[in-house]
Amino acid sequence: MYIVCADMEGVFTPEIWINMAEKTGIEELRLTTRDISDYDVLMRKRLKILKTNKLTIHDIQSVIQTMAPLDGAVEFIEWLRSRIQVIILSDTFVEFAAPLMQKLGWPTLFCHHLTIDPNGTITNYNLRQTDSKRNAVISMQNLNFKVIAIGDSYNDITMLQKADRGILFSPPDTVKNEYPDFPVSYNYVDLKTIITDIIQNDTNE
Q: Which residues bind its own copies (CB under 8 A)?
A: 1, 78, 81-82, 85-87, 94, 98, 101-102, 105-110, 113, 115, 124, 126, 128-129, 132, 135-136, 139-140, 142-145, 205
Rounded to whole angstroms, how far apart are CA atoms 18 and 185? 23
In the complex with its own copies, the residue whose CB is nearer, 42 or 86, is: 86
Distances, alpha carbon 33 to alpha carbons 9, 73, 115, in Å: 14, 25, 21
Catalytic residue among 7, 15, 91, 95: 7
Q: How many residues are recorded in the chain?
A: 205
Catalytic residue among 9, 15, 95, 152: 9
**7 assigned to active site:** yes
In the complex with its own copies, the residue whose CB is nearer, 6 or 29, is: 6
Cβ 114 to its own copies, closest distance in Å?
Answer: 9
In the complex with its own copies, the residue whose CB is nearer, 78 or 178, is: 78
Alpha helices in the chain (DSSP H): 16-24, 39-52, 57-65, 73-81, 94-103, 132-142, 157-162, 173-178, 188-200
Collapsing DSSP states into helix, strand and coil, what is residue 106? coil
Cβ 85 to its own copies, closest distance in Å?
Answer: 5
Residue 148 near residue 140, CB atoms below 8 Å: no
**173 assigned to active site:** no
Cβ 113 to its own copies, closest distance in Å?
Answer: 5
CA dihedral 170, 173, 174, 180 (to 10 degrees): 80
CA atoms within 13 A on the CB side of 73: 24
Cβ 184 to its own copies, closest distance in Å?
Answer: 26
In the complex with its own copies, the residue whose CB is nearer, 115 or 196, is: 115
What amino acid positions are annotated as catalytic residues? Answer: 7, 9
